[in-house]
Amino acid sequence: MGHEARAFWLAAPGHGEIRTVPVPDPGPDEVLVRTRYTAVSRGTETLVFRGEVPESEYERMRAPFQDGGFPAPVKYGYLAVGEVEQGPPGLAGRTVFCLYPHQSLFVVPADAVTVVPDDVPAARAVLAGTVETAVNAVWDAAPLVGDRIAVVGAGMVGASVAAVLAGLPGARVQLVDPDPDRAAVAAALGVGFASPDDAEGDRDLVVHASATPAGLARSLELLGPEGEVVELSWYGTRTVPLPLGGPFHSRRLTIRASQVGTVSPRRARRGYGDRMALALRLLADPRFDALVGDECTLDELPGVLAAMAAGGPPSLCLRVSHDGAQ
């Protein structure tokens, strides 16, 4: 018989809309999921919304269940939590996380969903993909007990990294951002806070997640000798100047890229499923509620994303409620 769902599509760069789309009945090894929440990964999804994915990255940037292609029309997104309405006995009725776009009902292979632990609310579980990114970044960074660490950029990803690092024994973690309102987020996560001008230097490790050239330059300035910047920002089509003069060579500094599409080689025995399961276990901690900034409905998403992509007020996680979206 099949079903119908409502989904967010980028019809053209700068213009999103809600469309009705068909959903097939699930097969024997598939699940039908009724979405409760999705979330916007602000940095990546606003780049997609503006049509700023470089042509060279069209294939690598594809989301697991993306429809259409870049620059548009495209159905894009990868942070969804819902209830399994039909599926194998072990999954039917369970709350699951899936790397699926903003759509009210969908069918995927059963092995594409991860069961949300009972002690993780669905409204918080929508952060799982971002916390997974943070876990991979920390695996790449391989911090040591007692390290002095700065996280530059207190957005959704940077704040998630700070939350994960806060559990490292003896570490001194400082979240760095020009927005003074992010001090409250840092306090909720149990880490320090400073503006870029007041940030503590001589850091053993800096994780950069501001997606700005100024943030990357400041990250290098904050390092002590032999220190390392782990770069999480993705700049799309922008060219970013990198200050490699001054003390960069004499202090033997390092910049390392981290990309969630590849499990960190430093944790080669772990797979994608292990990483996602760990992210969901971490989300049992209510501190992560501080990462949710605003909530909108699916119908409101086109306008809200347009405002975000145009440089609207900064926010952490934008959670999208699918209650009532048929």
Rounded Cα gap, residues 225 and 249, in angstroms: 10
Which ranges in the chain are annotated with CATH 3.90.180.10? Answer: 3-127+283-321
- Beta strand residue intervals within 162-310, DSSP E: 172-176, 192-194, 203-208, 223-231, 254-257, 292-297
At the topology level, CATH places domain 136-267 in: Rossmann fold (3.40.50)
Assess whether pLDDT exceeds 90 at residue 44: no
> What value does the mean pLDDT of the chain take?
93
- Indicate the pLDDT class of residue 214, thresholds 50, 70 and 90: very high
Rounded Cα gap, residues 228 and 248, in angstroms: 11
Assigned token pair, 159: 């704040």
Superfamily holding 3-127+283-321: Medium-chain alcohol dehydrogenases, catalytic domain (3.90.180.10)
- The per-residue pLDDT for 314 is 62
Which ranges in the chain are annotated with CATH 3.40.50.720? Answer: 136-267
- The per-residue pLDDT for 266 is 67
- The per-residue pLDDT for 105 is 98
Question: Residue range 263-280: average pLDDT?
Answer: 82
Inter-CA distances, 59 with 42, 48, 129, 182, Å:
20, 13, 20, 35
